[in-house]
Amino acid sequence: MGCRRALFESLLAIAAILLIFLIYLMVSGYAFTTTETRATVKWDAPGNGTIYHLLACEDGTLRALMDGRISAISSDGSILWYVDVPDRWWMGSRYFEPAADVGPDGTLYVYLRANVTRAAMERGMPYAYAGEYYVDMDEHNKRLMDAYKGTEFAYSLDERVLAISRSGKMLWSLPLATGLYDADICVRNGTVYVYHGQHETAIDENGGIIWDVGDVGAAPTVDDEGYVYSLVPINGSRTNGRVLTGIVQAYYPNGTAWWRRDVGELAYLQPIQGWEGHMPLYDHGTLYLALSSGVAALDRTGSVKWLKHYNSSTALFELGPFDGEGNVYLRCFDGAMTLNEGAVLWDTYYPVDGSRLIILRPDGAELASVASSTVYTYAKDGIAYRVDPVPGGRNLTELGSAVLTAMDLKGNRTLWSYNFTPGEISMAMLNMSNVKGLFLADDVQSAQWFNGMNARGFNVTPRSVSGNVGIKVVQGRDVTYVGFWTYCYDSPAIYNVSSVAYSGGLYAFNRAGDLLWSRPIDAQIGSMYEKDGAIYYSTGSGRLAAAQVDIVTGLAIAAAMYLFIRFIMVGAISRARGVINKNDNRNAILKYIVENPGSTMYEISRSLGLNKGTVRYHLFILGINHRIAVQRADKKFVRYFPNSNSYSDEEQMLMALLRRESIRRVMEALMKRPGLSNVELSRELGMPESAMSKHMKELCSRGIVDKRRMPGGVSYHIKEELRGLIARALDQSGQ
């Protein structure tokens, strides 16, 4: 008997050594690891016009906003419903982001802006609309909005918030004027917050006004619990609303004043991608004010955390002022530049020669300062993308190319670069219908100008060849998607005369810059939206498509190891069941798991003083002999429980969560004091509010905690039916 046992242990020891050796080879970079890219075009459907804006719903459907139409698109690309918007209103265009948001129940809330050109024409006001060949209606509305902004005429226009249900039913509309200033909508905890014309209005789900406050100089920040943080304009007048003070006014979710703080200098509204029209900004539980030569940081209670000043003008980084770690990105211009409205060029701050990019830690300490006069096209989480276009030739078929470079801003280093070149070239005759799909915005305006001249009797004809290159970037967690578009045309661009040659594609790259997948496109990409690794995009031809690129890392030897284990080791292991309890280390591990249910391999190794390889081996033996159960509830650690029907699946999930110290402390606090808010939990437990928000979101999504809307904000309660289980789990996890 002793010989057989020794033989078995020897076989397993040899197998373990072999496995460790193979793992070493794989980790060392030998050709035992394989990376598989799985690319799928989920759907590709023709549309009816260019879609400039996409919104994703929690149920996997999309809301597409285009000229005069709102559409709901299913997860397979089919149209669920659409609502046509009369031409007296418009939602957004290639020049304006729409003010829109989707509630958790799928209800879409969108702000309908007045068609100011049409309104001026109907009322006999000066409108100077030069006809369809000169500028399109969107461009003309943009010009007239600037001309009439803040006037009595502007405030008299019919503008409103529209609510459309998940099924496409128009629930209600509420007139709210902006005075042709910015508008913004966000949904928090069942309340719709609308910024319009220096007012912030809270609306319930039935379209009733809950409260309204004025003297709001820019789109305020509304946090996850419904607290509102606004900046006071310098004098509160209708015509000077965009000139801001440094006074922050905070409101409770019920609209009553909370606190008011003056940082002592003027704040500046800046064109920041994703934060258009907003000030102050809010990130990681901190409020930020952009100053003329620095930045101010306040906590949620109004206390000044820090002020940072420089000897030259500054602006928050126009493409991404914050990263996932809470660092702040700031452009610092040369000393000759003064920050004012004249510093804005093409909706961004022009990074003049000599400017720097400064990165500040959440506590205000300087992390890095690098020379950066670069114009980036996109940035996210500290990675910025630069485009270097290469002009095309002198004939139509010599299309331009472009080099895209990904930069790590904190490390001031190049991550990767890729040279985009034309693929298959297509030809078309330019006309009014295809110009927006083929041309970038500047070339569209140029074409409208020259065709407008011909409409007034001039005879402009093409005399040369011009071209352009455009790139759109969206960075996901593992995959970066890039839309590339290049074209040449007979210039000046004259409808039904000029020919256009074009080429483009959608590309997917991993974090190292390796090309994973690509597909051609028939027109430039109008909008791209990434969610959970999938890319949703529309083209100028009206097409709407969705693709998914997954990176799957596997082991080339996995199949061989499976066969080895299945056909060679299983027989020996099955024979070993009779001697499963004869190993002291294995018994100690099993005893530890019984006494500490939900432990990880690392906790077992550390507590028993055994190396991880030994623990891993014995866990394997205990698992295949059904002595322990495996739980992966927190998606980060594998946790082990005794397999004696002592704990239900629900208890195992709870105990696995409660092994995390921060979650356990939150649950203990809610067991003792039900109804605490996010802020109260954060203060009581000494955790950052951003971290607390993540914990509460996870607990709510798992069905452990209920979120309740109260007059003073949002409170959290452990579900009554789980309190007994949680009390037991807390007792077990605290042993």
Q: Report pLDDT digits (tens) over 171-192.
A: 999 999 888 778 999 999 889 9
Regarding whether 603 and 498 lie in a shared domain, the answer is no
Predicted pLDDT at 335: 53
Residue 34 has phi, psi (to 5 degrees) of -125, 140
The first and second tokens of residue 226, run together, are 């419904």
480, 509: one domain: yes
Q: Which of 507, 536, 555 is the last residue of a domain?
A: 555
Mark whether 615 and 571 lie in a shared domain. Answer: yes
In a domain, 246, yes or no: no
Structure-token pair, residue 422: 């034309």
Shared domain check, 548 and 450: yes
| Residue 202 in domain | no
| Predicted pLDDT of residue 4 | 53
List, for residues 10-33, the tens digit of each pLDDT value.
666 666 666 665 555 544 444 444
State the Cα–Cα distance between residues 635 and 603, nearest whole angstrom: 17
CA 48 – CA 540 distance, rounded (Å): 10
User: In the 8-state DSSP scheme, what is residue 708?
Assistant: E
How many domains is the chain partitioned into structurally? 2
Q: Tell me if 157 is assigned to some domain.
A: no
| Nearest-angstrom CA–CA distance, 506 and 490 | 26
Burial class from Cβ neighbours inside 10 Å (0-12, 13-18, 19+) for residue 640 reads buried
- For residue 326, being part of any structural domain is answered with no
pLDDT greater than 90 at residue 643 = no
Write the CB contacts of 21 (distance below 8 Å, at least 6 apart in sequence): none
Asked whether 602 and 589 are in contact (CB, 8 A), the reply is: no
Looking at the structure, tell me whether residues 531 and 441 fall in a common domain. Answer: yes
Distances in Å between the alpha carbon of 412 and those of 194, 279, 294, 348, 372?
Answer: 39, 28, 21, 22, 9
Omega of the bond leading into 391 within 30 degrees of 0 (cis): no
User: Given CA atoms 708, 710, 714, 720 in this order, what sign does their dihedral have?
Assistant: negative
Average pLDDT over residues 698-719: 83
The residue ranking higher by pLDDT, 315 or 441, is 315
414 with 541, same domain? Answer: yes
The counts of H helices and E strands in the chain are 16, 45
Of 8 and 223, the structure prediction assigns the larger pLDDT to 223
Same structural domain, 588 and 551: no
Q: Look at residue 18 in the predicted model and tell me its pLDDT.
A: 63
Cis amide linkage into residue 280, ω under 30° from 0: yes
Same domain, residue pair 422 and 566:
no
Residues spanned by the domain of 611: 2-29+559-733
Angle at 671 between CA 668 and CA 673, to 5 degrees: 105
Mean pLDDT of 614-631: 82
155 vs 576, residue with greater confidence: 155
pLDDT at 148: 83
Question: What percent helix, strand, coil does the chain show, rounded to 5?
Answer: 25, 35, 35
Q: Is 705 within a domain?
A: yes
For the chain, the C-alpha Rg in angstroms (whole number) is 30
- Is 482:462 a contact under the CB 8 Å cutoff? no
pLDDT tens for 335-382 read 544 444 334 333 444 455 557 899 999 999 999 988 776 778 999 999
Q: Is residue 236 part of a domain?
A: no
Diameter over CA atoms, the chain: 107
Pick from 5-9, 469-473, 729-733: least confident: 5-9
Q: Other C-beta atoms within 10 Å of 131: how many?
A: 11
Is the pTM higher than 0.75? The answer reads no
**pLDDT over 50 at 500, yes or no:** yes
Q: Do 647 and 626 have their domain in common?
A: yes
- Provide the pLDDT for residue 143: 74
Residue 624 within a domain: yes
- Establish how many alpha carbons lie within 13 A of residue 709's alpha carbon, considering only the half-sphere containing its beta carbon: 10
pLDDT beyond 70 at 238: no
Indicate if the pLDDT at residue 476 is higher than 80: yes
Q: What is the pLDDT of residue 339?
A: 45
Residue 309, SS3 per DSSP: strand
Of the three residues 555, 589, 616, the one that is the final residue of a domain is 555
Q: How far apart are CA 286 and CA 280, in angstroms?
A: 10
Q: Are residues 488 and 574 part of one domain?
A: no
Last residue within a domain, chosen from 538, 555, 572: 555
pLDDT at 85 over 70: yes
- Whether residue 579 is found in the same domain as residue 550: no
In a domain, 307, yes or no: no
Contacts of 87-90 with C-beta under 8 Å, sequence gap 24+, read 87/115, 87/118, 88/114, 88/115, 88/118, 88/119, 88/158, 89/113, 89/114, 89/115, 89/158, 89/159, 89/160, 90/115, 90/137, 90/138, 90/141
Mean pLDDT across the chain, nearest whole number?
A: 82
End-to-end CA distance of the chain: 40
SS3 565: helix
The CATH number linked to 675 is 1.10.10.10
Are 698 and 596 contained in the same domain? yes
